[in-house]
A and B are shown apart, each in its own frame.
Chain A
Amino acid sequence: MPVKIELGRRYRFSASHRLHSERLSEAENVRAFGKCANPYGHGHNYVLEVSVSGEVDPATGMIANLADLDGFVEREVLDAFDHHSLNEDVPAFRNVVPTTENLCIEIYQRLRKFPNATLERVRVQETTNNSFEYAGENGRERL
């Protein structure tokens, strides 16, 4: 196959978080995280971009049926994150700071099990000015 084709899909979710580490003193937390360490947290409208690859099925013209991908992302990520507190409601962030870097890794791990195509990478936009991408532990060449 001379070309490689990926399907990209965008989703949105809104969630709150607080950047704060138990391993740092209060002063160190404020130095490291600034206002993101404010005690009651704050929120963002996140944009999640999911890219998958695979053979394009000649019968459908598709790498994966969008309804299948949408349903999987909804169950694995959106239901768990949308309108939730990442710190309080997502077990993975009990002891891990919910930066968008760590959020990317958590989402990648949840979505890598998608059965109908290969997950290439996830990109999470925290605000319109910053975004983060992850393609797995050995995923450098997929970024």
Chain B
Amino acid sequence: MVLITRKIEFSASHLYHNPALSAEENRRVFGKCNNPHGHGHNYTLEVTVAGDPDPVTGMVLDLKELKEILEREVMQRMDHRFLNYEVAELKGKIPTCENIARVIWELLDPKITQGKLHRVRLYESADLFADCYRNGAAC
């Protein structure tokens, strides 16, 4: 088995706010991420697919096809968007790195048919990221 990773970058805004909590609680739990008009990040997404290279092409998957899937499923949905208001899959969720990585996993998993999605790693900044794996799979 070989792992192949493709990286893309997108920029988006978000804010952390749970309407079930009071204003004070939101402030205490989320700090400046609770600022009402939001803020933004340059996100880096690394998508890793596992598979055996095809004996004819030598490829686990057609990278061009993966690039198109990422463009369609992630870039068009999230790039230069306000994640809370413009991404339907995040409605009702706090758009943390953990939740965005999970939404991206759920969008990509059914679309990747050559090889198998192995890991989604989403960086919010160089020092903060979330990893999403198939449960039970070795990391």
Given the known A-B contacts A61-B98, A63-B98, are A4 and B133 also in contact in the complex, defined by CB atoms under 8 Å? Answer: yes
Stretch at the interface among B37-45, B56-64, B122-130: B122-130
**B66 near A: Cβ within 8 Å?**
no
* Residues of B with C-beta under 8 A to A23: none
Cβ B132 vs Cβ A56 within 8 A: no
How many residues of chain A get a CB closer than 8 Å to chain B's CBs? 26
Whether A2 lies near B134 (C-beta < 8 A) is: yes
Inter-subunit contact A61/B130 (CB<8 Å): no
How many residues on B have C-beta within 8 angstroms of the other chain's C-beta atoms? Answer: 33
B31 touches A7 (CB 8 A): no
Q: How far is the CB of B56 from chain A (nearest CB, A)?
A: 32
Interface on B for A, CB 8 Å cutoff?
16, 18, 20-21, 29-31, 93-99, 101-102, 105-106, 121, 126-139
Using a CB–CB distance below 8 Å, which chain A residues touch chain B? 1-11, 51, 56, 58-63, 65-67, 120, 141-143
Q: 7 shortest A-B CB distances, which residue pairs?
A: A61-B94, A61-B96, A10-B127, A6-B131, A8-B129, A4-B135, A61-B99
